[in-house]
Structure 1
Amino acid sequence: MTRALVVAAHGSHYNPGTALPAWRCVDHIRQTGLFDEVTAAFWKEQPSFSTVLDGLRSNQVIVVPLFSSEGYFSQSVLPAELQPRVGQAIRITSVVGSSAFFTAVVADRIQKALVKANFPPAETAVALVGHGTVRHLDSRQTTESQAGLLRGKFAEVHTAYLDDEPYVADLVRTVTCPNLVVVPFFVAEGLHTQDDIPDALGLSDPLYESQVIQNHRVLYTPPVGLEDNLYTVVLALANEYSDSEAAADPGLSSELYWTSHQLAQFGQVSLHADALCHVDDDVNAPDLEILDTPEAIRAKLRFTDSGEFRPLPTRRDLPHGWKIPAPGDVSRWAALQMIYPGVWKVERTCSPHEVGARQQGKYRPVRDISRKKVDSLVQSVCLHCVRHPSWHDQNLESVPGCIEPCSVWLEEAIKP
C-alpha cells in the first residue's frame, strides 16, 4: 500500500501569505519520508481541492484540513470536492484546530508573547479571537475548547469573534487585568488577521508591538498557524487516520507521473539538463538569482516582475531573472511542481456546469452559465494561462492541459 498526504487549506486570490503555512507543512513532512506523496490543495489557489487527486498515484490519501475550526469548508466543501479516483481510498481528518496536539501550538504562541512583552502570567489576560458565524455553530466550538484548556494557566482567558458574540470590538473593555495578549485563532495571515481584527481592537502600526488601549497594555500576536511546529499537528492527525506508519515506498517516483524529461519547454519554463529558468533568460547568465530551496522558489515566483501577487501560478506573468538547479528527471519534476503546482496529465475533464452543480455556495450559479459566456471567459481568462482549457474543447493531448475551470475563472463567471 502506498500513502499520500494532502494538506487542505483556503488559499487566497489577494494575500500571498495565506497559502504559506500549508506549503511549510508540506516541506517539513516531505523530509520525514513517512508518506509516498505529500502536497497541498486549496480552495482559492492551485492545486485545487477537486483536482489534486488527479496527480496522486497512492492507494490511500489522507487529507488534513488546515483550518482552525470545523464548519462550512470541512463539513461541506471538502467532501463534495474530494471525490476519489479509481483505486483510491480517501480519509479526511478532523481540522487541525480541534486536535489536542494543537493546544501545544497555541501555548507556544502565548509563551512567546509573554516573553516578548515581559507580561507576568498572573497579571495577564489571554484572548483567542476566532471567526465565528451564526450559520455554523461548530465554528466557535473549537475556539471555546482551546480557551477552556488555557483556563487556570492565566489570570483571565477570553474568547471573541468577528461574526458572532462576544464581538472583538467589545473585548478590551471586558478585561480586568492590566495586560492582555490577543491571539488570532487562525492558521494563516489574511484580511481578517491583518485588518479586521486590528481595526476592531483599535490597534495601530506596528501591529505586533505592545501598545496601550483603554488603559490596558495589549500585545497582538501573529496567527497561531504561523508557529514552526504546526506541521507536527498535521503529521499526528495524518498518522491517526492512516492504516500504516510504514516508510515511503521507494518505487513510487516521478516515473509514475507524466514527467517532463522529454520536453525542452514547459509553459514559460525552459528545461535544461541540470537547471530550469525562464524561457526568455539565458540559463548560463551569471546574474540569474539561484533558487535552491522551496522557500526561495515560492518567495520569488509568487510575484510578477513588478511585485504583484500571482494567485494563479500558471498565468503568463512568470517573473524573469532566476535559475533553479535541478539535475535529473526527479529534480526537474519536483521543481516544476513548485513553479506550477497542480499541473499534471489531463485524463478527464469537468465542464463549468458540472463544477457549478457540486457547489453549495456562491459558485452555484455557474451550473446555469450560458455557452456564450463560457466562450467569452475562455478568451478573457484562459488565454492568459499557460494551460490549455482541455475542459472546453476536450483536447486531452495539449501540454499542459486543464481539467476544469479554476477558481479565478469561477470568480469571473459569477460577476454580473
Structure 2
Amino acid sequence: MTDLSHTALLIVGHGSTENPDSSGPYFDHAAAVREKGLFAEVHLAFWKEEPSLREAFYMIDAEEIYVVPDFISEGYFTQEVIPRELELDGPTTVVHGKTVHYCPPVGIHPTMTTILSRRVEQEAPDIRREDTTLFVVGHGTALNDNTTRAVKDQAALLAERFPEFAAVHPTFMEQEMFIEDWDKHCETPNAVVVPFFIADGLHSYQDIPVLLGFEEDEGLPASQKDIFRQNPYQIRGKTLYYTSAIGIEPALGEVIIDQVHTFRENHL
C-alpha cells in the first residue's frame, strides 16, 4: 500500500448557491476518507460555495497534494474550471510551492455501474425488467463535448450488464436526448429514471422531477421534499420510478481513494 501519510487530499465539489442540501454528500465523502487515516490532511473546496477553490492552498500545509474532482464527468468543470482555478497545467504541477497531482473524477470509476444498478434495485426491486425502460440522466452542456461521455458510457454498461431491460437510454437536462421527452422514448409500461449526479440537490430534487412531469417548480430544498418516498408515479400513461442520486452511496469514499491510486499507477 502506498504511503500517503505525508500528503494532503483535496476533494473538489460543485456546490450550490441555491440549494442548502447540495454539499452534504461531499462532506460525507470527505469524512469517510478522513476516517481511513491515509492522508495527513483531507480538505474540501467548491466552485459555488465556501471554501472556494481559490482558498485551497491557504488551507493546506502539506507540500504534496492530490486533487480528486467529486464530479460525474471529464468535462467543462474538470477539464477547464478546476485546472484554471488551481493553476494546474498538467497531471502534476508545482504551484505556490506545492506539488499538486490532478486525479480523474469519481464519475468515470468502474464502480459507478454497480452503484447505478444498486439505485434501481433499491427503488424498484420487484419490477419486471422486460417491461421496463431505464433512463440514466446527466446534466449535459454545450460548453464541452466530453460532458456527456460518462452518462453515455454508463448507459451502455448498464445495458450490457442487464440485457433483460427493454431499453437503456442516456438522457440529459440540456441536450438531446432530453429527459423531459422520456415518455416519447419509452415503449414499455414501466420506466426507471436514475439521476447520475453526486448530490440530491437542485437538479435531482427540483429540476428533473419538473421535467419528468410529476413535480411543480416549488423551489423547496431537498430536506423539505419526499420525492423518492412516493414511488411509483402514475404519469403520462406509464408507471415511473425515480431513484436518488449516486452520491449518497458510502462507496464514494473508497472511489475517491482509488482515484488517487489510479493516478499514481498512471503517472508516478
TM-score by length of structure 1 reads 0.55
After TM superposition, the structure 1 = structure 2 runs for residues 13-412 of structure 1, keeping only pairs within 5 Å, are 13-83=17-87, 85-115=95-125, 118-152=126-160, 153=162, 154-204=165-215, 206-208=226-228, 209-242=231-264
Higher helix proportion, which one? 2
SS of residue paired to 2:124: helix
Greater share of strand residues, 1 or 2?
A: 2
- Provide Cα deviations, 1:215-246, integer angstroms capped at 9, x if missing partner: 21101111111222221211111222248xxx
1:114–1:121 contact (8 Å) kept in structure 2: no
Residues in 2 aligned to 1:4 and 1:240: alpha-carbon distance in whole angstroms: 16
- Taking only the aligned residue pairs, the percentage that are identical comes to 33
Alpha-carbon distance in structure 1 between the residues aligned to 2:25 and 2:82: 19
| Separation (CA, whole Å) in 2 of partners of 1:220 and 1:36 | 39
CA contact (8 A) 1:109 1:227 kept: no
Unaligned runs of 5+ in 1: 244-416
User: Secondary structure of the equivalent of 1:163?
Assistant: coil
SS at match of 1:241: helix
1:132 partner amino acid: G
Taking structure 2 as the reference length, the TM-score comes to 0.84
Name the CA distance, whole Å, in 2 between partners of 1:109 and 1:233. 17
Runs of 4+, deviation exceeding 6 Å = none
- Alpha-carbon shift at residue 58 of structure 1 (Å): 1.7
Amino acid at match of 1:60: E
**RMSD between aligned residues:** 1.8
Instruction: Give me the whole-angstrom Cα distance separating, in 2, the residues matched to 1:102 and 1:85.
Output: 32
For 2:205 and 2:82, how far apart are their aligned partners in 1?
26
Q: Which has the larger Rg? A: 1
What is the rounded CA distance, in whole Å, between the counterparts of 1:43 and 1:199 in structure 2?
Answer: 25
Does the Cα contact within 8 Å between 1:151 and 1:157 map onto a contact in 2? yes
CA distance in 2: counterparts of 1:210 and 1:202, whole angstroms: 13
Check whether the contact 1:184–1:221 (CA below 8 A) recurs between aligned residues.
yes
- Report if the CA contact (8 A) 1:126-1:180 is conserved: yes
Structure showing greater relative contact order (alpha-carbon pairs closer than 8 Å, 6 or more residues apart): 2
Distance 2:26 2:83 in 1: 19
Secondary structure at the residue paired with 1:151?
Answer: helix
**Partners in 1 of 2:113 and 2:98 — Cα distance?**
32
Report the 3-state secondary structure (helix = DSSP H, G, I; strand = E; otherwise coil) of the residue aligned with 1:150.
Answer: helix
Indicate if the aligned counterparts of 2:18 and 2:202 stay in contact, CA closer than 8 A.
no
For the 8 Å contact 2:57–2:96, the answer to whether it is kept is no
Tell me if structure 2 keeps the 8 A contact 1:133–1:163. Answer: yes
Q: Which residue of 1 aligns with 2:219?
A: none
Task: Give the number of equivalent residue pairs.
Answer: 241
Q: Does the CA-based 8 Å contact 1:54-1:85 persist in structure 2?
A: no
CA distance in 1, matches of 2:214, 2:170: 18
Deviation at 1:61, TM superposition (A): 0.8
Question: What amino acid maps onto 2:255 in structure 1?
Answer: V
